[in-house]
């Protein structure tokens, strides 16, 4: 093999294997319908956590879900870092749980409280409908939901 061919082969291999994997945060950004969630994760300083090894299952409220919250209430939540962190971690379950592995019942969240998963007639979490399931990320999975979950 000539030096030129070796250099080309090395460059092609580096390009093929150099594709950066997408974590939960990058996957949410790329999806395009989680802008408010990503902004909230930044405000709560949770981006480094969800870029970590995981694995995580995130029941991720879409932008439409956040739009259901009155603007003044959402603005207040985004400014209250402790409450925001509690709300956001209430949407996260340890481990990678694909929709086919969801089982009805209570599931403990990273926040510490439990959410109720219902699988009858489509997956739901505390009454929020899963509108897009199994959005895979390298460190877990995202299930988009139509309502922001609030811990009790």
Residue 37: how many other CB atoms lie within 10 Å? 25
Start-to-end CA span in the chain (Å): 67
Per residue in 71-90, is it b (16+ CB within 10 Å) or e — as a string? eeebeebbeeeeebbbbbbb
Q: Are 44 and 50 in contact (CB under 8 A)?
A: no
pTM assigned to the model: 0.85
pLDDT at 121: 85
> Per-residue pLDDT for the chain (152 aa), expressed as one digit of tens each?
444 443 343 333 333 333 456 999 999 999 999 999 999 999 999 999 999 998 999 999 999 999 999 999 999 999 999 999 999 999 999 999 999 999 999 999 999 999 999 998 889 999 999 999 999 999 999 999 999 999 98
pLDDT at 46: 94
pLDDT at 41: 95
pLDDT at 152: 83
Pairing between β-strand 140-145 and β-strand 56-61 as defined by DSSP bridges: parallel
C-alpha 15: how far from its chain's center? 27
Ordered structural domains, the chain, with CATH: 24-145 (2.30.180.10)
142 φ, ψ (degrees, to nearest 5): -115, 135
């Amino acid at each position: 093999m000539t030096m030129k061919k070796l250099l080309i082969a090395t460059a092609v291999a580096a390009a093929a294997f150099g594709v950066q994997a997408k974590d939960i945060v990058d996957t949410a950004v790329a999806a395009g319908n989680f802008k408010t969630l990503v902004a909230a994760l930044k405000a709560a300083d949770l981006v480094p956590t969800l870029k970590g090894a995981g694995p995580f299952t995130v029941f991720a409220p879409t932008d439409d879900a956040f739009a259901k919250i009155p603007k003044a209430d959402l603005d207040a939540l985004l400014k209250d870092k402790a409450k925001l962190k509690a709300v956001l971690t209430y949407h996260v379950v340890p481990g990678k749980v694909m929709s086919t592995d969801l089982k009805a019942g209570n599931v403990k969240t990273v926040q510490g409280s439990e959410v109720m998963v219902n699988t009858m007639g489509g997956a739901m979490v505390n009454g929020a409908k899963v509108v897009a399931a199994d959005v895979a990320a390298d460190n877990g999975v995202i299930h988009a939901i139509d309502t922001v979950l609030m811990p009790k």
